[in-house]
């Protein structure tokens, strides 16, 4: 039923734009704009997950990066896991999760870097096992939000420590009024975002019409 709904409301001939429109509509109807920094999407992305939406997002990311020679999908726990997994399934390649805290069994052969979240005002040590990524990998990073770009930059630092290359960054929601995209473009990273917010305030969300 859900797939029939997508096909009916968003015709195939404008598929790539329609996924953007679909996500924007979901944000408008189910998201909560708390203030200029915080957009709550816990009812369909990062607490309760809409699996049909994630499936369509995975298809779109896979199509956009199809010719980039990607060998692995990487995401940061935990909000990026759902779209990263559906993208990995569509591309037929493994997904690797960067840990915010090393587990008791991940205690050697680790790459680590500190990441600070300006939105949350917290820092954490991002961790990657050296056994999961190597110099033969060309990696696509998937995450839920892009704001100041600190999380993505931390992920890139880890991948470069592993001597892997970065194919690009797939983002569900970008706060385009913050400097994350520019920081990543300065590093030569291709950023592809499905929903780009130009202005955010209490109970107000304004989008950039399409990827530019």
pTM, to two decimals: 0.89
| pLDDT band with cut points at 50, 70 and 90 for residue 121 | confident
**Which range, of 7-16, 34-43, 122-131, averages the lowest pLDDT?**
7-16
- What pLDDT, on a 0 to 100 scale, did the predictor assign at position 65? 98
Residue numbering of the annotated binding site: 39, 46, 147-151, 175
- What pLDDT, on a 0 to 100 scale, did the predictor assign at position 186? 96
| pLDDT band with cut points at 50, 70 and 90 for residue 101 | confident
Residue numbering of the annotated binding site for 5-phospho-alpha-D-ribose 1-diphosphate: 147-151
Residue numbering of the annotated binding site for xanthine: 39, 46, 175
Tell me the CATH number at 184.
3.40.50.2020
Q: Above 90 in pLDDT, residue 90?
A: yes
Q: At what angle do helices 51-64 and 81-91 cross, to 10 degrees?
A: 50
Per-residue pLDDT tens for 41-87? 999 999 999 999 999 999 999 999 999 999 999 999 989 999 999 99
Q: Which domain holds residue 117?
A: 2-208
Mean pLDDT of the chain: 90
List all residues 6 or more positions away from 114 whose beta carbon is below 8 Å from its beta carbon. 123, 124, 125, 126, 154
- What pLDDT, on a 0 to 100 scale, did the predictor assign at position 212? 46
**Which range, of 19-28, 49-58, 113-122, 137-146, averages the lowest pLDDT?**
113-122
The average pLDDT across 28-52 equals 95
- What pLDDT, on a 0 to 100 scale, did the predictor assign at position 169? 98
β-pairing, 39-40 vs 32-33, is antiparallel
Residue of 90, 50, 52 lying closest to 170 (CA atoms): 90
Q: Above 80 in pLDDT, residue 119?
A: no
If you search the block for the tokens 């600190």, which residue do you land on? 150
Q: How many domains does the chain have?
A: 1
Distances (CA, A) of 34 to 16, 30, 37, 38, 40: 29, 13, 8, 5, 7
């Amino acid at each position: 039923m859900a797939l029939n709904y997508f096909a009916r409301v968003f015709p195939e001939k404008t598929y790539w734009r329609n996924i953007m429109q679909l996500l924007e509509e979901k944000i408008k109807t189910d998201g909560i704009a708390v203030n200029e920094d915080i957009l709550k999407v816990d009812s369909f992305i990062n607490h309760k997950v809409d699996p049909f939406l994630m499936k369509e997002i995975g298809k779109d990311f896979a199509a956009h990066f199809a010719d980039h020679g990607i060998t692995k999908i990487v995401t940061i726990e935990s909000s990026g896991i759902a779209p990263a997994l559906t993208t990995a399934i569509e591309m037929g390649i493994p997904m690797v999760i960067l840990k915010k805290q090393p587990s008791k069994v991940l205690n050697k052969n680790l790459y680590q870097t500190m990441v600070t979240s300006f939105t949350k005002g917290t820092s954490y040590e991002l961790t990657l096992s050296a056994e999961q990524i190597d110099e033969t990998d060309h990696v696509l990073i998937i995450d839920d939000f892009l704001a100041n770009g600190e999380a993505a930059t931390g992920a890139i630092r880890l991948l470069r420590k592993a001597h892997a290359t970065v194919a690009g960054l797939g983002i569900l929601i970008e706060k385009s009024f913050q400097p994350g995209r520019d920081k990543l473009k300065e590093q030569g990273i291709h950023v592809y975002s499905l929903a780009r917010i130009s202005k955010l305030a209490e109970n107000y969300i304004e989008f950039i019409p399409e990827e530019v």
